[in-house]
Structure 1
Amino acid sequence: MSEFIQEKRQYPRKSLEKTAEVLDNDTGLSLGILEDVSKGGFSILTDQGMRPSETRNVTLVLPGPQGSPHKVSLTAECIWCQTITERADFAAGFALRSIEDQDEVALNYYIRDYQVAGQKAGELEES
């Protein structure tokens, strides 16, 4: 059996060093904590099971400059959900389905400029 898993993502994801909350726009409640993000999707750690193909309207509450949060609203489809035991009950992956132009620009800047855990400035990967 091969030890390599074929990567199906179109864009590389960046793991986050700072906590970023994901809010459910329909309920106003926290859906979970953002684990990684890309131009095409994200994954979260959550205490809720998600159904694949379930679509959610969410807001990513991203760490901003000088500690001020930046909110990006979008619609995303759950692609997978699995039980985990380390840091949360579940991990779930989402594909971005729709986003307003200004939120897309803000998300792309955030992904481009965000320094991930363990990287030095200037070592950011291409997205």
Structure 2
Amino acid sequence: MAKVVFYEKPGCVGNARQKALLIASGHELDVRNLLTQTWTPATLRPFFGDKTLRDWFNASAPKVKAGAIDFAALDEHSALALMIAEPILIRRPLLQSGERRESGFDQASIAAWIGLRADAPEVTDRCAME
């Protein structure tokens, strides 16, 4: 069992499924609101590790879906500034257990990291609607 800080968008059906899977797998969750959390570049950046900059963003966010963000023009600093100004842009959930931080819900990675039930249904980080 791991203690996991889980940053979510309250009311998100995908986040609800993710939390249910983690709890069913025996993990203890400290659930926090990703949208009202006070973020800084120093607190947000570690969640993205070596992922590509585009993978830092929530593909279901209205501005991303509308093509209003020019990923080719973004650097790390400007991407973080955008997400801090508009947290809906952050790919979720954000997860922390111990010193490790992750963004998104890659089920295979999470299973390898903290463990998930072997019979767990597939759960992703894609949302049907924002």
Whether these two folds match at TM > 0.5 is: no
TM-score range, shorter chain: under 0.3
Q: TM-score, normalised by structure 2?
A: 0.23
> Between Structure 1 and Structure 2, which shows a larger proportion of strand residues?
1
> Between Structure 1 and Structure 2, which shows a larger proportion of helix residues?
2
Higher relative contact order (CA 8 A, sep 6+): 2
